[in-house]
Amino acid sequence: MATGRTHRPATRSRGIPEATVARLPLYLRALTALSERSVPTVSSEELAAAAGVNSAKLRKDFSYLGSYGTRGVGYDVEYLVYQISRELGLTQDWPVVIVGIGNLGAALANYGGFASRGFRVAALIDADPAMAGKPVAGIPVQHTDELEHIIESNGVSIGVIATPAGAAQQVCDRLVAAGVTSILNFAPTVLTVPDGVDVRKVDLSIELQILAFHEQRKAGEEGGQEGGTPAAVTRAASVEADRKGPDGDVPAVMPA
C-alpha cells in the first residue's frame, strides 16, 4: 500500500475544479450509505438530493471523473465509491500527526472515522512534558521536541494543528520545514504558509457566527411580517450593509 509521501491525488493533474473537489466527499458519504444498504445503482436526482446539491451540478462534477452513468439505469454505486475514493487519494494509507492534545486534540484522536477513510493517526504530539507517554486513544503522546523525527520516520505529509492560537504558527512552520505539505488547522488563527502547502481551516466560532447571522435575518423577516422590525435588527442590518464586500457577501469575522 502506498504512503502519503510516495503518491499524490490525481485531481490537480486532471484539472478538476476546486469546487468539485470540495463536493466529492459529500457524494462519497451519500454513496457509502447506499453501499451499506446494498443499493446497486442510483439516479443523479436521488444522489444529488442525498448529497444536498442539484442534479445538473452533480452530472457536471462526475463528468470531470469520466463517469456519465447509464441512461435509464443511473450510476453504479460501488464503482463510483471506488472512483471518487481514488480521486481523493483514499485508496492508500495517509499517516497523520495531531499536534496539540488538549480537549479538541484528544477528541480528534478518538475519532473512529479516520481509519475507514484512508487516514492513520501516526502520532500525537504535545508541548506539555506532563503529557509525554500518556496514552490517548491507545496512542502514547510524544513531546514536540520529537516532531521532526516523527514526521521523517513516519513519512507524514498531513498535519493537524489543534493548539492554542499563539502556538499555531510556530507549529505550522516546524511542520512545513519537516516536510508536511498539507495542514488541517483547528487553531483560531490564520496561518502563513509557503507556496505548495495546502491549509484547510476549521473554525467553529466562525461557523456559529454565520448561523447567528442567518438567525438574525430570519428574526428580521418575521418581525417584518408582523408589521414592524425590531430596532436591534434594524441597527444590525445597517452594520451588515456597511460590512458588505465588493461582491455583496458579508465576510466572516474572526473573534478577537
| pLDDT, tens digit only, all 256 positions of the chain | 444 443 344 444 458 899 999 999 999 999 999 999 999 999 999 999 999 999 999 999 999 998 878 888 899 999 999 999 999 888 778 999 999 999 999 999 998 888 777 899 999 999 999 999 999 999 999 999 999 999 999 999 999 999 999 999 999 999 999 999 999 999 999 999 999 999 999 988 888 999 999 999 888 877 766 554 444 444 444 444 444 443 444 333 333 3
Q: 49 Cβ partners below 8 Å, 6+ apart?
A: none
CB-count burial class (<10 Å; 0-12, 13-18, 19+) for 175: buried
User: For residues 73 and 185, what is the distance between their CA atoms, to the nearest angstrom?
Assistant: 41
Task: Classify the C-alpha dihedral 128-133-137-139 as positive or negative.
Answer: positive
User: For residues 92 and 28, what is the distance between their CA atoms, to the nearest angstrom?
Assistant: 16
CB-count burial class (<10 Å; 0-12, 13-18, 19+) for 151: buried
User: For residues 64 and 76, what is the distance between their CA atoms, to the nearest angstrom?
Assistant: 16
Q: 213 Cβ partners below 8 Å, 6+ apart?
A: 240, 250
